[in-house]
Amino acid sequence: MRPADDEYIKAIQNNDRKGLEQLYQEFLPRISAFLRRNGGSDADAKDVFQDALIVLFKKVQAPEFQLTSGFYTLLYGICRNLWGNRLQKKSGNEVSIPEDYKYTNEPVLTQLIEQQEEEQVFWDAFKQLGQDCQQLLQLFFAKIKMAEIAERMEYSSVGYAKKRKFQCKEQLIKRVKADARYSELLQ
């Protein structure tokens, strides 16, 4: 592993802001260039790049993780797969998207990419919720007790906190189910 590659991995492992900023500066322009040549925009590149970093974040947590290629090679492979999958979904069956967008042979990585795509449906639905619901559900999913949630959210009672939690979760589930990706990914 090259010294710089090691730094990039550490930045992801430790959620290090400066290191991650450097990663964006170093690699996002190349990923943008790749996407622009393949029907994407700079905004798409930002999305794909962020998703790829999340995939890597999960991958580097594994105790057996070892970088077997160059860092950029790995990052590029993930971005390529993510974008290939998106193009394929966008096109439906009308446009033939070359299957060769997917070339990562490592099954763990392929699995993490699929997982990321599934989970993104949840995150996207979550981000559509109001601030109050987002805050409340963040506490709820972090397994904070309802009494403490009521206190932190300054609700009048635990009963109201429970009711509100239900309403927010229901909205979340509704949005997830309304997402076209849900039926494909989570069945």
- Chain positions contacting other proteins, by CB under 8 A: 2-5, 15, 17, 20-21, 24-25, 28-30, 32-34, 37-38, 42, 46, 49-50, 53-54, 57-58, 61, 69-73, 76-77, 98-103, 105, 118-119, 122-123, 126, 137-138, 141-143, 163, 166, 169-170, 172-173, 176, 186-187
- Output 116 or 156, the one with its CB closest to other proteins: 116
- Output 58 or 86, the one with its CB closest to other proteins: 58
Structure tokens at 185: 């990914």
Helix, strand, coil in percent for the chain, rounding step 5? 75, 0, 25
- Cβ 5 to other proteins, closest distance in Å? 8
State the first-to-last Cα distance of the chain, in angstroms, to the nearest integer. 39
- Output 90 or 167, the one with its CB closest to other proteins: 167
- Cβ 105 to other proteins, closest distance in Å? 5
- Cβ 164 to other proteins, closest distance in Å? 11
173 close to 166: Cβ distance less than 8 angstroms: no
Q: What angle do CA 77, 78, 79 make, to 5 degrees?
A: 95
- Cβ 10 to other proteins, closest distance in Å? 14
Structure tokens at 66: 């070892």
- Output 92 or 142, the one with its CB closest to other proteins: 142
What type of residue is 62?
A: A
161 close to 150: Cβ distance less than 8 angstroms: yes
- Cβ 92 to other proteins, closest distance in Å? 18
Select from 124, 143, 138, 123 the least CA-distant residue to 168: 138
- Output 3 or 92, the one with its CB closest to other proteins: 3
